[in-house]
A and B are shown apart, each in its own frame.
Chain A
C-alpha cells in the first residue's frame, strides 16, 4: 500500500525529527491526562465516602443543608426509619475527627483522620478488602481506609493510638487494626471506622469517655432499600413518617456540601481549558507539519499522484504519530502513577481519557486536512514555479 510505504519511509529517514514529534505528543497527552487525574483526585476527597457508601439513601437532620457534622440523629429515629416500607436496613453513622499519633507504640507525624462510627454489619459500615470488617459492636477495633494504610504503612493486627480532645484534655485511645477498606475520604481526609458504641466513647466531646446511658447520638443514617423499592418514594415516605429528618441520595449528599460545586466547576473548567488548548496545539502542530510539505505534495500531484493518495499518506502518518505518542504518554503516566506517593490523590477517569484521546485523534487529522486542501488546490502549479 503506497501511502503506508511513503508514511513509513519518511518516518524511518527522519528518525530524529519524528522522535521529537512523538515526544511532544506524549508530553501533551501526559499533561492533559495527568492534570485531569489530579483534579479528579482532588474532587474525590469530597465525595469518596458517599460514593462508596453502598446505600441508596442517606438520612440527615432536617434543615442542616446536608452538612454532615451539623446533622444530629438519635437512636429512636433508627427504628422509625426501619419500619418504613421498602427499607431493608438502616445503619447509624457518626463522623468526627482524630489524629493517629502512634502505630504499635512508635510515634507517627500525627495523621488527621475522619473517625467514623458505624454499626457493624449495617449500612454505612465498610467491607474489608483485607483482614475483617467490623463485627463487634463495642470492641476497640478499627478498619482503616486505604489512604491511611498506605500513608502510614500500617500492618493488619497493629495497634494504633488516637489522640482526641475531650473537654480540656487530650485523650489517647488504642485500637486494634482489624481490616482494611477501600479509600473513603470525608472532607478530604482519610478515614478509620470503629463500632458506634466505641466511637461514642472516644470521639471528641465535653466529657472524657462519654456519657454512659445517654441517648446514642450520631450524624446521619445510611439506608439500604429492598431491591424493588423506588428510592424517591421511600425517601418521601421516610420524611413523612419520621419527624425532623431530610432524606437524599449519597451523590446529592456530597454535591450539596459547601464548596463542592465551586471546586468542581473550577476543576472542570481547568480540565476543559487544558483539553481545548492542547487540541489547538496539536491541531496547529499537524497543520504546520503538513504545510511544510508543500513542495513535495505539489510535485507528487503534478506527476499524477491522486489527491486521495496524498491525503491518505498524511493521515496515516498523523495516526501513527498520535498512536505512538499516546502510547508513550500513557506508559509514562502509568509509571508515574506507580511511583507517586499515596498523599497525591490521582484518579483516572475512563471517560475523560477517552474524550482526550478522541479529541486528539479528531484534531490532528482535521487540521492536516484543512492544510492539505489548500495545498492540493495550488501546489501542483507551484511545483512548476507557477504561483497558481
Chain B
C-alpha cells in the first residue's frame, strides 16, 4: 500500500474524550506530508478488553468491518491508541493467517454489503514516526525545544505481545524514550516502567477502584523521580492517568499524549492541543 497515505482510525476515547489527540495527530501527519484519509463510518475498534472478552466472534467481525473501510481507501491503517492498535492488529493477523476464518467473517460482512480481502497493514503512529519518518526528518519540523523531564508510559498493547508485533524489546523497550528525547525532553528512568496503567482488560469499567491500584503504583514511581509530565501513546492509558488522579489526589502530574507533545514541539498553537479537556491542568 502507498507509503504516503494512511486511513486514520480514530477509535472512541481520542475523538470523544481528548479531541486534542486527534487534532494534533492530523496536524502532525499533514506537516510530515502524509495524506490522512477519513475512515467514514468506522466504529469502535472494538475494544479488546470488553468486546473481545464478551464474544471473540463479534470482536473479529467488527474489526474486519473497520479494516474493510480502510482497504477500500487503498491505505494502511494509522492508529493513535494502543487498544485500537491491539485489536485491529491482532484481528488482522488472525484473518490474514486463516483463510477459513476470513471467509467466515466475510459471510457476516456480506450482510452489510462489505468484504475484507486481508490487504491492509495496521500501524501504530509511534511506530510510523520512529521507523518511517525517523529522527532527521522529524527534527526538521521541531521549532520549539522542550526541556521537560518526563515519565514515559508505553502501555501494554503498543509493543506486546512482542512475538506478534516485533516493534521493540519486551523487557527494555526504547522507542518511546527516544521519540520523546528527539524533542529535547528527558525521559526519566523510574521503577516498574513497563507496568500496566490498570485500565485494560475491562478492569476499569468493571472495578474502577481496583484499576486505580495499578495507576497509583505507577504514579508513586513517577513522582519519586519528579516527573513533570506523563507521556503516553494511548488515549485510554491517558484517561486512566488523567481522570484517575481525580480520585488519587496529591500527585498532580499532567498527562500528555505523544501527538500532543510533538504538536507542541512543532510550535502548534496550544489551542490545537485540546488541553482544556484534561482533568489535571497542563501548565507548559
A associates with B = no
- Measured CB to CB, the residues of A under 8 A from B are none
